Amino acid sequence: MQQLPPPSVGAPTLARLLARVAGATPSPPAGSAVGRLGAWIDWPRAVELSRALEAPAAEVPDAAPADVESLAAEYRDIRAGLAAEIEAGPGPAAASAGFAPFQRHIQAMQRAMLSAAGRLRGDLRECLAAAGPGPARLAGIDAQMEAALSPREVALLAATAEAFAARFEALQASGPGPDETAPAWLPALRHELRDLLLAELDLRFQPVEGLLAALRSP
């Protein structure tokens, strides 16, 4: 049986890489995790999440067990495909083309990651909802967590393109003239972008890994 990728630590890695691109020193998060989470969730979403957390586990009708290994294989294939696209990068665009090729690549990858993670997460919740009272309750909590945190996640991850645009412009301003088609700093910049997007891939798929682990639990 093939194993899933090891548990990821995408959020700290992504924060560290963004800080490096921006030329800043990452600082430890202020306050408790619960306090920070509360600041991210608006009142209506908090009420819905509270209801999901407090709801008793309900009985569910008998259903055929989910094919967890097929779901895990689909997850691995999708993740590997996204990682390959990230590794390929935005193509051999010259620095004179400006930031546009990089911006298109970032936006395309972020859309693809969001869509793939959301679809897999929904499929796994459906399987959990049919697996018994406890798993069904977990599926409901995850659905509320996704709805509550998605707006904040989208806003925070937009910082990837913003930080990288500032980095590109600074390097372009300090680099050789426009006649130079491959500035010396361009390979390192591509490497930075790859690392950023791979860290974001880890972060976006953490909930998927958690739901898969729950389905595998006896």
| Domain annotation covers residue 207 | yes
pLDDT in tens, the chain (218 residues): 344 444 444 447 877 887 777 765 555 555 544 455 555 555 466 556 566 656 665 555 555 456 888 999 999 999 999 999 999 998 775 556 788 889 999 999 999 999 999 999 999 999 998 888 888 888 988 998 888 888 888 888 888 888 888 888 888 887 655 555 667 888 888 999 999 999 999 999 999 999 999 998 86
pLDDT for the residue 124: 94
User: For residues 55 and 140, is the Cβ–Cβ distance under 8 A?
Assistant: yes
| Domain annotation covers residue 1 | no
If one counts the domains in the chain, the total is 1
| Domain annotation covers residue 44 | no
pLDDT for the residue 116: 96
- Which tokens go with 153? 């996640």
Annotate 120-188 with DSSP letters as a single string.
HHHHHHHHHHTS-HHHHHHHHHHHHHHHHHHHHHHHHHTHHHHHHHHHHHHHHHHS--TT-SS-TTHHH
- For the chain, how far is it from start to end, CA to CA, in angstroms? 17
pLDDT for the residue 85: 97
**d(C-alpha 134, C-alpha 58), whole Å:** 8
| Domain annotation covers residue 80 | yes
pLDDT for the residue 144: 84
| Domain annotation covers residue 152 | yes
| Domain annotation covers residue 16 | no
- Which tokens go with 80? 């590997």
pLDDT for the residue 195: 93
| Domain annotation covers residue 138 | yes
State which residues form the domain around 142: 65-216
